[in-house]
Structure 1
Amino acid sequence: MTEVARRTDAVPLYGDRYRTDPAEVYAQLRDKHGPVAPVLLEGDIPAWFVCGYRELHQVTTDSTLFARDTRRWNAWETVPDDWPLLPHLVHNPSVMFTEGPEHQRRAGALSEALESVDQFELASQCERIADQMIDRFAGAGEAELMSQYASRIPLSAAALMCGVPQAQTRMLVDDVMAAMNSSLADQMTAYGRMEEEMLALLERKRVTPGSDVPSHLLTNPANLGDEEILADLLLVMLQAHGQTTNWIGNTVALMLTDERFAITLSGGRASVGDALSEVLWHDTPTQNYLGRIATRDTRLGGQRIRAGDLLVLGLAAANADPHVRPAEGASGNRAMMSFGHGEHGCPYPAPEIAEIIAKTSIEVLVDRLPDLVLAGDLEWRSSVWTRGLTRLPVSFTPAYQP
């Protein structure tokens, strides 16, 4: 039995209390246990929750002591086959689970491929995609922005970066959305279609390469195999959908509900960057991340950690650590943990690419619909990992559609 499994004061990171106010749960965990707290994941699976900024920095920096390969976890025998968090922990061929020189080889190739993206062209493409999306509902005077706007632009942009033909982009977008938002069986079916589509894309790029991410991965000196490239392309698509979509939605919600931004929403381009930064600090899309596994017995934040124990990275909680949390409006402070840290953090320049997509999407929205207002209650997704909206209803003056 692990040290954390023996704790009777472990706090659930699920349920109504967590769903209603996760920030309050993080604060109470810190007050009661300090920067590292015993928690229970869904199904009462024990883990350690790293909520201190300094401690999270230590864990994400020391990849030897706190490793990424989840096959080291000492509690696998307690996990049921239908555990809903399995997709976050089961080892797969993507760069997320590699370590040491292998991780450096894979992550380096992915970063080089992402660096090849022309960021000016990307912004221009995002403007075009955003305009097309808005055209579909501008004449109605109302919209549900998560399903009709925020969730579709990042995927469409990622498809363009990957050189997906325009005729197939919509099918791929629908499959990614199904893989993220459906039942487990439907998710597996959609994921299988995505794999087939990406494999076909690799074959086309091998014959006719272009200036896109798959082509750069195929020719990278790291000599990646098709399985490796496939896993990392799917990772790029899913991350583009989940995190960038929620960054857009959370930021628009902030601008529509906070008077500091509402007064400059119409044409207030300077406020968009401020709002994006504030969301990363105070309402970050990626709340927590699974995880790291201790490779030997150690102490962290006053707690005794056993070899094989699972650590949950409390990104949102670390951002809220009173030792580092900036005042509202401190938009120039970029030291937040929202994109992780260390060699397993979000690969450069993925955060820059995500910001271009999010910022462009919001700027086009407020330019096209300057009197945008909230038209109903915000509905938040219940997830220990993600802070995002399921509904963002808005209304506006209908735009003339020629």
Structure 2
Amino acid sequence: MTAATSRREAGTPASLDDMTGLTPLVATTMCPEPRHVFQKLREEYGPVAPIELEPGINAWLVLGYHEVLTVARQEQTYSCDPTDWSVYQAGRLAPDSPVRPMMSPYNNAFFTNGERHRRLRAPIDGGIATIDQRQMRRAVAALCTEVIAGFAARGEADLVADYAAVVPMLAIADTFGLDAVQGRALYLALQQLYAWQADAAAAHRRVMEILAEVVAARRATPTKDLTSFLAAHPNLRGDAEIYDTMLLLIVASNENTVNWIGQTLRLMLTDERFGGRLRGGRLGVDDALDEVLWRDPPFTNAAARYAMSDVELGGQLIRRGDALILGLAAANADPRIHTAGETWSEVGNRAHLAWSAGPHACPATIPAWLIARTAVETALHQLSGVRLAVAPEEVAPVASSWTRGPASLPVRFTPADQP
């Protein structure tokens, strides 16, 4: 019995900071089956469970579908601004804290509330609405073909490192008007930044340099890209808000889409229900994309909300300044919303919380779907006889507390003829 359980059974509401022996948040992602971890937490705590973000830093993991909706929709009660977090206010986050990249304040819509959030969100919604979906589909298809050509003759590849981790960043960079060199430089700098190691500060400077370079170029010569749109938008006041808004769109879109592509390819290569004509499966790409959003959404856990006052949620006393992590995958697996057992293949059902909900729901679901669907279809079509090169159970998840995409996806296929 943990100390947290003992106090709860004794009826004494403990401070979140005082709880020990908690399940680490990373246990919900770096495990063979997250549903088993969710079930154990539900049995012990109910739909809201205390978890350990890192040693000495705790938070609440919101597991329940309805509880996630409550937190996501009530921004006056649950703030998105990390400066409302008691841990941040007390300066308890170490410089190399692994949660710092996801739970530090930025000058963009994700980390703000109320009127400021609406002011910063409007340019994002407006910019995404300007994207020509047909043109984007053609550009992504050409990009996928180009990337595949780089390894097609080998007869083997890692469909994460060689493909899923490359295509979204280059596709997103293109919508911002970055050329291939800038796109790859940004991709490398962001990898270093979110590893949050000793070179993170230098990586952040490099990211800002690249963004400043493209903003300056678009101010001098505006074009029909997202950078030109954001740089000229009256709602964005100063370069800091422009850069951080660009960074939010690029990072969130890339991370979501990389994991969505990787998980869908994994599913189609390992589950006999899928694969269409490749293996005689009865379900296709769209079905696999939907199932991933329910069972293994791109973000398993979404950071974060901060209680603005003492409040009860899911039977727990949440104190002012406590952090709450939105368990998107856990909410999708909430047994209270599944009435017929395991109903994961809910084809066409968009009630999942993969993109969160409320005023901070993901605004870029259509571009993400275009990139993911095109990438999966192109790979399965162009890689003849593609098959997983390891046993399915050997496909390990990426090391993260937030996401659960495959770290690698080694495959073999019939080598393409050299031109």
TM normalised by structure 2 equals: 0.90
User: For the residues of structure 2 that align with 1:155 and 1:197, how far apart are their CA atoms?
Assistant: 14
Distance 1:293 1:363, change over 3 A: same
Matched, 1:331 2:347: yes
3-state secondary structure, aligned to 1:160: helix
Partner residue, 1:380: 397
CA contact (8 A) 1:175 1:193 kept: yes
Partner residue, 2:9: none
User: For the residues of structure 1 that align with 2:222 and 2:189, how far apart are their CA atoms?
Assistant: 24
3-state secondary structure, aligned to 1:39: strand
User: For the residues of structure 1 that align with 2:407 and 2:30, how far apart are their CA atoms?
Assistant: 17
User: For the residues of structure 1 that align with 2:187 and 2:24, how far apart are their CA atoms?
Assistant: 34
Distance 1:47 1:230, change over 3 A: same
Which stretches in structure 2 are left out of the alignment for 5+ residues? 1-12
Q: One-letter code of the match for 2:403?
A: T
- Percent identity between matched residues is 38
Aligned partner (choices 96, 101, 111) of residue 97 of structure 1: 111
Matched, 1:187 2:200: yes
User: For the residues of structure 1 that align with 2:184 and 2:306, how far apart are their CA atoms?
Assistant: 38
Query: CA shift at 1:10, angstroms?
Result: 3.5
Partner residue, 1:287: 300
CA contact (8 A) 2:101 2:196 kept: no
Partner residue, 2:416: 399
Partner residue, 2:362: 346
Partner residue, 1:4: 16
Query: CA shift at 1:122, angstroms?
Result: 0.6
CA contact (8 A) 1:12 1:44 kept: no
3-state secondary structure, aligned to 1:184: coil
Query: CA shift at 1:270, angstroms?
Result: 6.6
CA contact (8 A) 1:68 1:293 kept: yes
Partner residue, 1:85: 99
CA contact (8 A) 2:263 2:406 kept: yes
Residues 164-191 of structure 1: per-residue CA shift (max 9 Å, x gap):
13443333333333434x4512333223
3-state secondary structure, aligned to 1:355: helix
CA contact (8 A) 2:263 2:292 kept: yes
Partner residue, 1:298: 311
Query: CA shift at 1:224, angstroms?
Result: 3.4
The range that moved more, 212-221 or 18-27, is: 18-27
Residues 96-134 of structure 1: per-residue CA shift (max 9 Å, x gap):
111111100110111101111111111100000000011
User: For the residues of structure 2 that align with 1:21 and 1:274, how far apart are their CA atoms?
Assistant: 21
Query: CA shift at 1:282, angstroms?
Result: 0.5
The range that moved more, 38-47 or 131-140, is: 38-47
User: For the residues of structure 2 that align with 1:269 and 1:155, how far apart are their CA atoms?
Assistant: 31
User: For the residues of structure 2 that align with 1:309 and 1:15, how far apart are their CA atoms?
Assistant: 20
Matched, 1:254 2:267: yes
Matched, 1:174 2:196: no
Matched, 1:147 2:161: yes
User: For the residues of structure 2 that align with 1:319 and 1:7, how far apart are their CA atoms?
Assistant: 27
Partner residue, 1:361: 375
Distance 1:134 1:276, change over 3 A: same
CA contact (8 A) 2:275 2:284 kept: no
3-state secondary structure, aligned to 1:313: strand
CA contact (8 A) 1:68 1:292 kept: yes
Matched, 1:220 2:233: yes
Query: CA shift at 1:207, angstroms?
Result: 1.3
Partner residue, 1:45: 57
User: For the residues of structure 1 that align with 2:397 and 2:162, how far apart are their CA atoms?
Assistant: 16
Query: CA shift at 1:271, angstroms?
Result: 0.8
User: For the residues of structure 1 that align with 2:117 and 2:70, how far apart are their CA atoms?
Assistant: 19
Partner residue, 2:40: 28
Query: CA shift at 1:17, angstroms?
Result: 9.6
TM normalised by structure 1 equals: 0.93
User: For the residues of structure 2 that align with 1:205 and 1:2, how far apart are their CA atoms?
Assistant: 54
3-state secondary structure, aligned to 2:273: helix
Aligned partner (choices 307, 330, 334) of residue 317 of structure 1: 330
Query: CA shift at 1:88, angstroms?
Result: 1.3
Residues 357-377 of structure 1: per-residue CA shift (max 9 Å, x gap):
000001111111141100023
Number of residue pairs aligned between Structure 1 and Structure 2 = 399
Query: CA shift at 1:21, angstroms?
Result: 3.7
Distance 1:395 1:10, change over 3 A: same
User: For the residues of structure 1 that align with 2:411 and 2:23, how far apart are their CA atoms?
Assistant: 37
Residues 72-105 of structure 1: per-residue CA shift (max 9 Å, x gap):
1123334333322111111122221111111001
Q: One-letter code of the match for 1:191?
A: H
User: For the residues of structure 2 that align with 1:382 and 1:163, how far apart are their CA atoms?
Assistant: 31
Query: CA shift at 1:218, angstroms?
Result: 2.2
Distance 1:269 1:107, change over 3 A: farther
1:71-82 equivalent positions in 2, closer than 5 A: 71-76=83-88, 77=90, 78-82=92-96
Query: CA shift at 1:67, angstroms?
Result: 0.7
CA contact (8 A) 1:2 1:74 kept: no
Q: One-letter code of the match for 2:358?
A: G
The range that moved more, 217-226 or 234-243, is: 217-226
Residues 306-361 of structure 1: per-residue CA shift (max 9 Å, x gap):
111111111110010012247132121111111111111212xx011101000000
